[in-house]
Amino acid sequence: LNGLVVERLGTKVNPTEINIQIIHRDREKNHILSNSDEVLNWNKIRGDIVILNKPKDYVSGQPDPKHGHPPAVRLLTRNNIYFPTDDNGMYEELKYTLTSGKYLNFARRFHDNDESNNPSTLLNYAPAGRLDLDSTGLLVFTKNGLIAKRILSQSIDKEYIVQVEPVHNITRQERRMGIERLPLPRWDLNILLRKGRRLWDDHKPMKPLVEAKWIEEGKGKDGEWNGCGTIKFILREGKKRQIRRMCREILGLNVLDLKRVRVGSVSMGDLPEGSWRCLTEKEVKALFQLSPN
């Protein structure tokens, strides 16, 4: 950009800017993710990945001026950081990452009139993946583009806990899509583990889920399944609103609550809703050693 190499993830460019060059990097140099000595150099990437337990009504990406929904990155403040109270060294490691002044930088990024409601947030972090507005749970942020690519790859499992009930009505959006009716509630989840299933008007079939199983089943007065319950889904693909749509369009079930609890080897654990923390060295190494690719 204007003769300078842009290294910061999420750098904004004026739409009238014309002096932009994209230079293809040598494959050998761009293969950093498969080089454990480079990607796992803790002194270079310490603090580069943080996880947030996202509440409902926050968007994963940019602010939503039309509906007024704030971006989840606004929660990455000093007040919201979480320190686990354990004895395995995690507390001291995370405390040093935060207080050393070498790894995390905060600044006021949003221009609200009310300064008391505009605390400083982490600089240069962008979400690696997304969660719907009405979904909660584990959302990963990073300032390293190569790390983001690894997290977004379809070789990493994403685990969700989903509360469901029988579908009652077709939505206006579904009618606009051409859906005239939805299936009756289906208890058998094995259909999601097979190839070839498509969402409505989607030309590309979904990839089979890694796992789909009931962890709690609702029972009626007769002791039979009543269409309600809680399901664990593990998948590697991440189409827009995929879980909600496949529940409605394939299983005849409506999603009441959807929470992501794990990305790869990183689990949300006891991270409170609305709080965040950095990943430890052990967690980062585990995340990148899941696959040689």
pLDDT tens-place string over residues 131-160: 999 999 999 999 988 788 877 876 789 999
Q: Tell me the C-alpha distance between 288 and 293, whole Å.
A: 9
Do the Cβ atoms of 60 and 73 come closer than 8 Å? no
In this structure, the strands spanning 136-142 and 276-278 are: unpaired
- What does residue 140 show for φ and ψ, rounded to 5 degrees? -95, 135
Instruction: For residue 233, give the DSSP letter.
Output: E
Question: For residue 48, what pLDDT is reported?
Answer: 93
The shares of helix, strand and coil residues in the chain, as percent rounded to the nearest 5, are 20, 25, 55
Q: Using CA atoms, how far apart are residues 250 and 194, in angstroms rounded to an integer? A: 12
> Can you give the pLDDT at residue 289?
73
In sequence order, the 6+-apart residues with CB closer than 8 A to the CB of 286 are 264, 265, 266
Beta strands in the chain (DSSP E): 49-54, 106-107, 121-122, 126-127, 136-142, 158-166, 211-219, 225-235, 253-263, 266-267, 276-278
Residues 6+ apart with CB under 8 A from 88: none
pLDDT of 34 reads 45
Give the list of residues 6+ apart from residue 238 with CB closer than 8 angstroms, or none: 129, 130, 154, 158
DSSP 48: S
Record the tokens describing residue 46, joined without a space: 């310490």
Report which residue type is found at 152: L
pLDDT at position 29 is 41
Q: Are 131 and 244 in contact (CB under 8 A)?
A: no
Residue ranges, the chain, pLDDT below 50: 26-36, 291-293
Q: Which two tokens stand for residue 8?
A: 């910061």
pLDDT value for 81: 94
Cβ neighbours of 8 (radius 10 Å): 11
Q: 22: how many CB neighbours lie within 10 A of its CB?
A: 5
Residue of 164, 173, 163 whose CA lies nearest to 200: 173
